[in-house]
Chain A
Amino acid sequence: MSATMPEFVPMDAPDLDPNAPLLEIRDLEVAFQSSTGMVPAVRGANLTIYPGQSVAIVGESGSGKSTTAHAIINLLPGTGKVTGGTIRFAGQDITHAPRKVFEQLRGKEIGLVPQDPMSNLNPVWKIGFQVKETLVANGVAQGKELKDAVARVLADAGLPDAEHRAKQYPHEFSGGMRQRALIGIGLAGKPRLLIADEPTSALDVTVQRQILDHLEHLTQDRGVAVLFITHDLGLAAERAEHLVVMHRGRVVESGPARQILTTPQHPYTQRLVASAPSLTSRRIQSAKERGVESTELLARTDIDESRPIVEVEHLTKEFHLRGALPGAGSTFKAVDDVSFSIARGSTTALVGESGSGKSTVANVMLNLLEPTSGRVVFEGTEVGSLSKSELFDFRRQVQPIFQNPYGSLDPMYSIFRTIEEPLRVHGVGSKKTRSKRVAELLDMVSLPTSAMRRYPNELSGGQRQRVAIARALALEPKLIVCDEAVSALDVLVQAQVLTLLNDLQAELGLTYLFITHDLAVVRQIADHVAVMQRGKIVELATTDEVFESPREAYTRELLAAIPGSSLEVGGA
């Protein structure tokens, strides 16, 4: 093998020693140029992948896991640069290889399945075209055979009716279908290593499972090594043989998946294992089975079931869909005859996949949408019948917390102004008492008073969500509707925010409606669970009942799809 040649020399299969590492990263340092100098993102990371092996890098956002993966194929964003260490692929040093070498490596030797299926396909080209150019660029097929080759790639990726699908545009595909197409593209060049960067984090849990199963099946069949990048320890442990845990740019622990899960050595890994939501669900259960009372997370007993704070009765919401021709539209039942009530001081979780109608229910409850039929009764009054001033009062008592803490805070408002605004709008107190109240609220959500003068872009995701909670609490509401309030947060931050919400509930007697697709979160926070599917509530029971003896097949399916649910976790 002539390593001195400027171009990458692909080795033929016989040369490949299955015992020699396919990818070897030694003491990798990656830094980003900023106005104040180089900011390190990866500090001395080590990683080895053997042919056909599956390895997962686990870590929270900012841990350097994606940066490490992108450094391998020289796709670091913006000002990122490899500042030290070596990356060897199939024995050849590619750390500072010229662009030509990477153009040959990418696709053909190392494939990539990116994170967000919504933004990773070019919206202006047909799916077939985007597959085709991959095949051509990597010399897999050409000329007349292209059409069949494209259809084969898509069919292998699990898309039915591939020939027809190839003629469609990305916006005609669902998220899961797009991700299948992207997996097809990633594998189209027959690479020896596939980098899967959070391949399913944007998808529903059941779709996620199907796609991961399919990916596993494809890569195992072809002997492709896989490098998973994920924040989800459960997913990593379930899908990879070997785990690498990264924290603040360093690899803090690595080893066989089972070993890391059962006997984590590094304190960070221990915390990660302890708070991984997908694993917690099992942990609580096992704690209960052993007859041990879990102190913080089990359902409380002080809930007054007789006086519900809110009742939803036969709620139906229809949307009009535009048809292909004028007048050919149809109505879509987003919410179909939904009834439930929430007891004062309790937490009810509304669970379902995207499109199940759970957010529509929340919007009707917040009186942001008008129901087609049925009604919502809050504190004995029908929400739809409120006069303008009553509505104003209603808004005060029911507050939302939304999913995206980056989008729900005005970037031009300081934190003080953000939290003070509802107080000012509702004319609560004087200027002085209001500023005292803001300090109090910040204290309640464990943020320093100094945070007042800062702006949202200076805070982390978890801190922003705390600000959103403080703002929601400002008016002393009775009911808080949390629409995917912790879905965008890293596991450790998620656990902190959930604990905070739990504490606040105990302290202030709040009632929560928790809208989420994540059953693992439900286990930690909810007293009651309503499982929604296609606009209907299919199962409504206490959290324990749902988790221990789900009645509906759909609920069981959802539970089984939680990554890591089949794993045994030790250390408890």
Chain B
Amino acid sequence: MLRYVGRRVLQVIPVFLGATLLIYTMVFALPGDPVAALGGERGLPEAVQAQIREQYNLDEPFLVQYLLYLKGIFTFDFGVTFSGRDVFDVIKEAFPVTIRLAFMALAFEAIFGVLLGLIAGLRKGKLFDGTVLVLSTMIIAVPTFVIGFVMQFFIGVKLGWLPTTAGSDPGFMNLLMPAIVLGAVSLAYVLRLTRTSVAENLSADYVRTATAKGLSRGRVVVVHVLRNSLIPVVTFLGADLGALMGGAIVTEGIFNISGVGGLLFRSIQQGESATVVSLTTVLVLVYIVANLIVDLLYAALDPRIRYA
């Protein structure tokens, strides 16, 4: 077990280096010169441009820039934006709310997705199963912003059950509706995965044997069906955590949340390469850590994997 964990942790290193290098190269290759664009129509004087280039190490060769950047990451020095703010501070502001939102969405889709999927799987072909399947298809088919605006209008404005927007420093209630909207599509996938997996495991030989041993129906379902069915679901959830963090642009926009999605969008538009690269790096780290946790969970759920 320890060896498995060690190996998985070591694998993080090349993934991290590869991903950051790739991001750095892509941002580097973006057309247009951000320094030249800073001065607007008239442009900055040559001397000022040269000074800015030197300040941001833009005059160094590509690889040196990358290595300097790596050095920065390990000393928590992410550089500064063109407006002079520390990138680390900018990110620090945007992340907490995004993390809160992502985890709330994850909890929502995991709890309800697994629960509904389990019931649907146990009653495959019955009315409940059919209804849930149709609903989940609808959720997948309708774009997030439609769901977002519709919920905002009915639940927020008409019924007044939940706050319509999040605003700055939002609390649990403020983020509840955004989290539901953000997690809705994934919930549909979790539900379907769980349902298929449960329905398949129900007819597994070991489930029949468990029943033949004299176990109660409830115990058979929880101990022998559910645990085995969760393995593919956990994989999906892990990969989804990263997507929820980086891909919440639309939801953040609808509910006026100043999170990572919006920041990333603005930074790309403004050519803030330091912010873009740093943000993406943090997101890559989130992905890597999430997948590491998934792999460890995986090994906990399925003992055969530890020795593979």
A-side residues, CB < 8 A to B, are 73, 75, 77-78, 99, 103-108, 111-112, 114-116, 119-126, 130, 133-134, 137-138, 169, 171, 182, 185-186, 188-189
Supplied contacts A77-B203, A123-B303, 14 more A-B pairs, CB within 8 Å? A73-B212, A106-B211, A114-B209, A116-B205, A119-B204, A123-B206, A123-B228, A130-B210, A133-B219, A137-B215, A137-B216, A138-B213, A169-B303, A169-B304
Q: Which residues of A contact B214 (CB under 8 A)?
A: 103-108, 134, 137-138, 189
| Distance of A249 Cα from B224 Cα, bound (Å) | 32
Q: Is B158 an interface residue (CB 8 A)?
A: no
| Distance of A121 Cα from B304 Cα, bound (Å) | 13
Q: Which residues of B contact A186 (CB under 8 A)?
A: 212
| Distance of A121 Cα from B224 Cα, bound (Å) | 10
Q: Which residues of A contact B219 (CB under 8 A)?
A: 133, 137
| Distance of A100 Cα from B204 Cα, bound (Å) | 22
| Distance of A75 Cα from B217 Cα, bound (Å) | 12
The 10 closest A-B pairs by CB, nearest first: A107-B214, A112-B212, A119-B205, A106-B214, A122-B206, A134-B213, A120-B209, A120-B205, A169-B303, A137-B214
Q: Is the CB of A171 within 8 A of B303?
A: yes
User: Most chain-B CB neighbours within 10 Å: which of A125, A126, A138?
Assistant: A125
Task: State the Cβ distance, A180 to closest chain B Cβ, in Å.
Answer: 14
Instruction: Return 18 A-B CB contacts under 8 Å, by A number.
Output: A77-B208, A104-B214, A107-B215, A114-B205, A119-B204, A119-B205, A120-B208, A121-B209, A122-B206, A122-B210, A124-B227, A125-B223, A133-B210, A133-B219, A134-B214, A137-B219, A182-B209, A186-B212
B-side residues, CB < 8 A to A, are 203-217, 219, 223-224, 227-228, 301-304, 307
Given the interface pairs A75-B212, A124-B301, A189-B213, the reply to whether A133 lies near B206 with Cβ below 8 Å is: no
Q: Is the CB of B304 within 8 A of A171?
A: yes
| Distance of A104 Cα from B214 Cα, bound (Å) | 6
Q: Chain B's interface: helix, strand, loop or mixed, by majority?
A: helix
Given the interface pairs A124-B228, A133-B219, the reply to whether A107 lies near B205 with Cβ below 8 Å is: no
Q: Which residues of B contact A125 (CB under 8 A)?
A: 223-224
Q: Which residues of B contact A75 (CB under 8 A)?
A: 208, 211-212
Q: Which residues of A contact B303 (CB under 8 A)?
A: 123-124, 126, 169, 171
Q: Is the CB of A119 within 8 A of B206?
A: yes
Q: Is the CB of A107 within 8 A of B223?
A: no
| Distance of A106 Cα from B209 Cα, bound (Å) | 10
Q: Is the CB of B216 within 8 A of A133?
A: no
Q: Which residues of A contact B228 (CB under 8 A)?
A: 122-124
Q: Which residues of B contact A105 (CB under 8 A)?
A: 214
Q: Which residues of B contact A121 (CB under 8 A)?
A: 206, 209
| Distance of A189 Cα from B211 Cα, bound (Å) | 13
Task: State the Cβ distance, A375 to closest chain B Cβ, in Å.
Answer: 35
Q: Is the CB of A133 within 8 A of B208?
A: no
Q: Which residues of B contact A103 (CB under 8 A)?
A: 214-217
| Distance of A463 Cα from B301 Cα, bound (Å) | 41
Q: Which residues of B contact A189 (CB under 8 A)?
A: 213-214
Q: Which residues of A contact B211 (CB under 8 A)?
A: 75, 106
Of chain B, the residue at the smallest CB distance from A106 is B214
Task: State the Cβ distance, A166 to closest chain B Cβ, in Å.
Answer: 14
Task: State the Cβ distance, A183 to closest chain B Cβ, in Å.
Answer: 12
Q: Is the CB of A106 within 8 A of B205?
A: no
| Distance of A138 Cα from B219 Cα, bound (Å) | 13
Given the interface pairs A77-B203, A133-B223, the reply to whether A124 lies near B302 with Cβ below 8 Å is: yes
| Distance of A119 Cα from B223 Cα, bound (Å) | 16
Q: Is the CB of A107 within 8 A of B304?
A: no
Q: Which residues of B contact A169 (CB under 8 A)?
A: 303-304
Q: Which residues of A contact B227 (CB under 8 A)?
A: 124
| Distance of A225 Cα from B217 Cα, bound (Å) | 26
Q: Which residues of A contact B208 (CB under 8 A)?
A: 75, 77, 114, 120
| Distance of A31 Cα from B208 Cα, bound (Å) | 19
